[in-house]
Chain A
């Protein structure tokens, strides 16, 4: 499991998990899970396009993610936000199905881009992952306060002069960068699961922003590590473990919270009686 050919995998997965944990905190806070799902899938045809054009996959992914963010912003101005998000997703995926039918890299490529194949990260793949992650983390640190304010209290943010449109664009750009960086390493599905499950669990457990953010990063790392280890042992796809462990984490914390609240309620009632 810790052989030399796996070292790059562990490093890349950890970096992706940290970045996704940070950004996921804002995804859950802003209730943008649909956007976090749509962007990776809409970006996925970029890899096929790059193959057709004969350039590095990362360039194709960056072009497609920029196109997806642009299209999303334009369509969201026209009508309902969730309808626009869904339409951008299916339209770019349809383009993807067309591009895939043109290249002969059919089955295996689709599978690994959608569900990830963490066992094949080369040192050359590692460099863009590190560079983009550093850029995203710096960007997130730079806009941390206005982004937090705008996500948690949109009305208060307006009165403080924070522009909702600008913040939204910045957030989508950061999300897009993470997507393009993580997609070839862990696949479209994993990016999404890592963005939502740890952060959602963390926000059930703690209402304090900094604590929830730290918890989200920790859970994200734990999630991907356990998923890779299980995937290595069973040979089953890593996407399965990330998705199911993430769902288990979230549901068990929800159940835990439910019982804790009920206990507290009972105790309060008894105190009142006494």
Chain B
């Protein structure tokens, strides 16, 4: 085990610039997404989270022909879409599904238009693939610090709001009786969600962004219902997916004789495996708990 670890660390893997950028931005993204993801799933906003990721692709594609920072593009559109969801009434359960669908359709339409502008005005041909599926190894190093700052800001906001956020997830009426403004908490949650999704879209691509958001959190919530434990588990799974995915994609260049497989594929594959594995884990934990209860 140790020699194996040493071999990885001494290889060219960690000394390569693109790998360093990918790992840094990817780790920040994984942590933010894991934390926000747990709240998102508990609130039943998985569709909204996915929709924000897809819609943010409009910002990513606009950044090409406008020549702006892609992170700013993803963030701006995701925040605007979050406000649109709020306006169309995403919090009323009955209308949530359709309202999300409408915002999603409009956002993807906009992204189609912007990708078309990319093609006609700047002749960037790979824009669709880059925005939709991400390209972690092609991330410019100048994006490192802005991305990390957004990640740190979002996590600290959630840490400050941890208790009211949790309370409003568990019981809306109890929360308002304790003086929590559900409207503010809801809006701040959607904005934090937009930030998480924008980071994820930047690293694994906008269509796959929700993998980082709901995959690790979903798997962790299946094993433990305690939010704090689920957040910890989700962070571990998310980081494992990013590091494992980046390492596998880097090594796949040698595995498949020069045809490297995309990073995003490996990241999502690890997350999917973790979700499937959460089933036997939950079963084993339940058995253990039942065994202890039986002995007492």
A240 touches B113 (CB 8 A): yes
B208 touches A197 (CB 8 A): no
B262 touches A236 (CB 8 A): no
Indicate whether A86 sits within 8 Å of B210 (C-beta atoms), given known contacts A106-B125, A106-B129, A114-B128: yes
Contact of A240 among B112, B119, B207, B259 (CB under 8 A): B112
B41 CB–A CB distance under 8 Å:
yes
B102 CB–A CB distance under 8 Å:
yes
Interface stretch (choices B13-21, B72-80, B152-160, B263-271): B263-271
B98 touches A87 (CB 8 A): no
With a cutoff of 8 Å between Cβ atoms, the chain B residues found around residue A66 in the complex are none
B98 touches A28 (CB 8 A): yes
B115 touches A111 (CB 8 A): yes
With a cutoff of 8 Å between Cβ atoms, the chain A residues found around residue B125 in the complex are 106-108
A70 CB–B CB distance under 8 Å:
no
Main secondary structure on A side of the interface with B: helix
B83 to chain A, nearest CB (A): 14
A25 CB–B CB distance under 8 Å:
no
B201 to chain A, nearest CB (A): 12
Residues 115-137 of chain A, each 1 if its beta carbon lies under 8 Å from chain B, else 0 = 10000000000000000000000
Q: Chain A: interface residue count, which band?
A: 35 or more
Residues 130-156 of chain A, each 1 if its beta carbon lies under 8 Å from chain B, else 0 = 000000000000000000000000000
B65 to chain A, nearest CB (A): 14
Contact of A197 among B105, B267, B268 (CB under 8 A): B105
With a cutoff of 8 Å between Cβ atoms, the chain B residues found around residue A110 in the complex are 128-129, 132
A250 to B103, CA, bound (A): 10
B101 touches A242 (CB 8 A): no
With a cutoff of 8 Å between Cβ atoms, the chain A residues found around residue B103 in the complex are 247
A111 to B112, CA, bound (A): 8
A250 to B214, CA, bound (A): 28
A90 touches B215 (CB 8 A): yes
B203 CB–A CB distance under 8 Å:
no
With a cutoff of 8 Å between Cβ atoms, the chain A residues found around residue B110 in the complex are 240, 243-244
A141 to chain B, nearest CB (A): 24
A78 touches B211 (CB 8 A): no
B207 touches A246 (CB 8 A): no
Interface centre among A33, A36, A106, A196 (most CB of B within 10 A): A33
B8 CB–A CB distance under 8 Å:
no
Contact of A106 among B46, B126, B279 (CB under 8 A): B126
Residues 75-107 of chain A, each 1 if its beta carbon lies under 8 Å from chain B, else 0 = 000111011011101110111011011100011
Which of chain B's residues 238-279 have a Cβ closer than 8 Å to chain A? 259, 261-262, 264-265, 267-269, 271-272, 275, 279
Which of chain A's residues 212-244 have a Cβ closer than 8 Å to chain B? 236-237, 239-244
- What are 11 of the A-B contact pairs (CB < 8 Å)? A34-B50, A78-B279, A82-B41, A83-B46, A91-B272, A110-B129, A189-B105, A237-B112, A240-B112, A244-B109, A246-B109
Question: What is A's interface to B at a CB cutoff of 8 Å?
Answer: 28, 31-34, 36-37, 41, 78-80, 82-83, 85-87, 89-91, 93-95, 97-98, 100-102, 106-108, 110-111, 114-115, 189, 192-193, 196-197, 200, 236-237, 239-244, 246-247, 250-251, 254
